[in-house]
Amino acid sequence: MRSFFNRFSVQLTLGFCLTLAAAMTLAGFSLTRTLKAQWVSDLAADLYAGAEPIVTEMSGLPIENNTQALQRLTKQFSHSGARRITLVRPDGTVVADSDISPVNLSHLENHSDRPEVQSALKGQNSFSLRFSHTIKQDLLYAAVPLRDGDRIKGVVRVAVPLTLVNHRLGHIRWTIFWITLVLMSSALVVTLWFSHVKMNPLRQMARVAEELANGNFSVRMKHISTEELDRLGQTLNYLAERVQTTIRDLSHDRSELSAILNNLVEAVVAVDAGGRILFINPALKELFNIKAGDLELEGRLFLEVIRHNQINETLNAVLKDGQKRASEIKALSPDEQIFDAHAVPLLGGASRIGALLILHNITKIRKLEQIRRDFVANVSHELKTPLAAIKGFAETLRIGGLDDKANRLEFVESIENHADRMSRLVDDLLDLAAIESGKQTLSREPVSLLEVVNEVVDDLKTLASNKKTRVSVEPTGGVPPIRGDKAKLKQVVTNLIDNAIKFNKEGGVVTITLSSNSAGLKMDVRDNGIGIPSQDIPRIFERFYRVDKARSREMGGTGLGLAIVKHIVEVHGGSVQVESSVGKGSTFHVHFPTISSNPS
């Protein structure tokens, strides 16, 4: 921009100087032409006046065969006036010339074609300017008719060089030249000063405009002394202020919108009319494991970034007809997840400029629905078996079994066993429901987990003896107390050790290891029994899930033990995991925060 104003100043100065030079040249040319015409006219009048005595003298002399007398007269009058005098006959022959010897007169050209001679032969005084090839200089020729009564017998022509006139004109031209040079120098200085002074406000405006174009909306114009330019500058300031306010509002709105979209749990993506990404939020990038930044993604086709045909087809359908779409979409990322997808058109005025897609994760809802269905089915199945058995034995007793002294006691014991199984199932369901709801009040007191483990081992020694399983407790270092409900913690330990004994092989070993570190207390329950298949491990803590369903029921399990364990441990701020190999045994790792790391 600065170079533009420098060029403009140079062009303005050069244009002004050239205009001035042209004006002065034209004025000088007009002046010299006018002066020359005036001086020539005055000189011609002098020549006419000077020719009168010559005409008077020669009017009485014959011009035929009188060359010497006429030549003498032309010489005489020429010396007295420093002029060249020529006498021409009507046929154009020169009969006398003050600057030519009589011998050379015959060599002169015929003068009948000379304009001043022609006019004089018609009886008119006339003059003309012409370069004389004879004497090699500009001459002013004035011709006067030489009369003999009414007859024109010749022409007296008086010529004078224009040396004086040309000298004067040259002096005037040089004067005009120097005046022009001085004026141009002055004009150059004035124009440069004027352009510098007057261009400063424009340069300032250009700088402000450049800053605005570069995004600096805080720049402002200073006060300008020129009223018109000051109004323009103030208008530019007002424009900058309005643009700054608008940009600030837009930036604020965009920041709020970006903050909202970036912190949404739902995955969001917006594409333009060509299917190219306009915006993509972190939730969607995390969902599809996209590592690229926003600037790398903007402008790329959606299908290039996210290779999911169902989502792409949904967006294309909205872009095509402008109708909203809602569908259920599955995605592997890396586990299967289910999304409620809603796609709507983005409108810019009356035209569609793109589409917006929102993915709401409903995986947990679908899983909960499946769990609910499985729960109802499992509860129904678990209750149906003992109920059927109780009903069968009751019918058997009713139709005659009471009289069967050998078997009726067995029938009653079976009814009692199945009733106990139902009671345990109901109790477990109630415990699980109470724990999950958070409504069950747990006591929070220091508990020695080592004491709890020893109590449980003592309670289960009969079961272990029957299974010929050895149970050992191996605390490692000091075992600090934890804060919790002793009864619930005993339920956790009982379930884990009971399972380790029941699902162990005959003559197996169950080892309970207790250790602590800065993270808290760790309890490992390890057995060398049948183990758990790898495909079943992720579901081992689900309600009613059994690895070996038939064997579990034979052992009187309800299928809720590990689910209760998981919830009790989590209520105490801990966690539980399992490691297992088929045929080698299983290890359950339980972590509890100690009193020092667990807030009361």
| Torsion angles phi and psi, residue 586, rounded to 5 | -135, 155
pLDDT of residue 295: 64
Question: Which numeric CATH code is attached to 2-168?
Answer: 3.30.450.20
CA dist 557 and 499 (Å) reads 9
Q: Where are the domains of the chain?
A: 2-168, 264-361, 366-435, 443-592
pLDDT of residue 234: 77
264-361 and 366-435 share one CATH topology? Answer: no
Non-local (6+) Cβ contacts of 520 within 8 A are 482, 574, 591, 592, 593, 594, 597, 598
Question: What is the rounded end-to-end Cα distance, in angstroms, of the chain?
Answer: 72
Q: For residue 495, which of 541, 535, 434 has the smallest C-alpha distance? A: 541
CA dist 366 and 498 (Å) reads 33
pLDDT of residue 579: 92
CA dist 498 and 205 (Å) reads 88
Q: For residue 120, which of 132, 129, 111 has the smallest C-alpha distance? A: 111
Tokens, residue 583:
């045929």
For 395-408, b/e burial (b = at least 16 CB within 10 A) is ebbeeebeeeeeeb
Residue 14: C-alpha distances to residues 1, 7, 26 (Å): 20, 10, 18
Query: What residue ranges in 80-208 does DSSP mark as E strands?
Result: 84-88, 94-97, 126-132, 137-148, 151-161
Alpha helices of 82-162 — where are they, by DSSP H? Answer: 115-121
DSSP element (H, E) containing 355:
strand 351-361
pLDDT of residue 588: 93
Pairing of strands 126-132, 277-280: unpaired
Are 71 and 135 in contact by the 8 Å Cβ rule? The answer is no
CA dist 315 and 489 (Å) reads 53
Q: Along the 600 residues of the chain, how does pLDDT read in single tens digits? A: 455 445 666 666 777 777 777 877 887 778 777 877 787 787 778 778 777 888 877 777 777 777 777 787 778 777 665 678 888 888 888 888 887 887 777 778 888 888 888 888 888 888 888 877 766 777 888 888 888 777 888 888 888 877 767 777 778 878 888 887 888 788 777 777 776 666 667 677 777 777 777 777 677 776 666 666 667 777 777 777 787 788 878 777 777 777 776 777 788 888 888 888 888 888 878 777 777 776 677 778 877 788 888 888 888 888 888 888 888 888 776 677 888 888 888 887 667 788 888 888 888 888 777 767 766 666 666 666 677 777 777 777 777 767 666 677 777 777 777 777 777 667 666 666 666 666 666 778 898 999 999 999 998 888 889 888 999 998 876 788 888 888 889 888 988 998 899 888 888 999 999 998 877 899 999 999 888 888 888 878 876 666 655 444 444 455 677 887 888 888 888 999 999 888 889 999 999 987 755 444
**Which sign does the torsion angle of CA 545, 548, 550, 556 carry?**
negative
Q: Which fold has domain 366-435?
A: Helix Hairpins (1.10.287)
Note the CATH architecture for domain 443-592: 2-Layer Sandwich (3.30)
User: Hey, what CATH class is 264-361 in?
Assistant: alpha beta
Tokens, residue 394:
């009751």
pLDDT of residue 358: 87
Are 243 and 217 in contact by the 8 Å Cβ rule? The answer is yes
CA dist 101 and 71 (Å) reads 8
Q: Name the 3-class secondary structure at 113.
A: coil
What is residue 594's DSSP assignment? Answer: B
DSSP element (H, E) containing 332:
strand 325-332
CA dist 593 and 569 (Å) reads 10
CA dist 3 and 9 (Å) reads 10
CA dist 76 and 69 (Å) reads 11
CA dist 219 and 281 (Å) reads 35
